[in-house]
Amino acid sequence: MKISIYVYACRKCELDEISTPIVTANMPVSVFPKSIASPSIMAYIMTQKYIVYFRITLRLLLNPHPST
């Protein structure tokens, strides 16, 4: 994943030798602070955990005493 942060400056102000205001865009907000997890990977992990739990629960409900 590549995050691009854009930096903007007024070229007209630079050509006119006026102080050039530089504006930097904000970083995207992370899912968890100080984490590199993206929203898409967190959605995938949470979905997979739900699906696995649902499959195991359904298997136990349909066959509570599996033969060994």
- Is residue 1's pLDDT more than 60? no
**Is the confidence at residue 45, as pLDDT, over 80?**
yes
Domain region containing 25: 7-62
Could you tell me if residue 39 is inside a domain?
Answer: yes
Q: State the average pLDDT over residues 26-45.
A: 81
35: in domain: yes
- Structural domains counted in the chain: 1
As a whole number of angstroms, the distance between CA 46 and CA 13 comes to 49
Per-residue model confidence (pLDDT) at position 68: 56
Q: Average pLDDT of 26-35?
A: 77
- Closest C-alpha among 11, 34, 35, 15 to residue 23: 11
Prediction pTM value: 0.42
Domain annotation covers residue 1: no
DSSP string, 7-54: EEE-HHHHHTT----EEEPPPPPPSSTT----HHHHHHHHHHHHHHHH
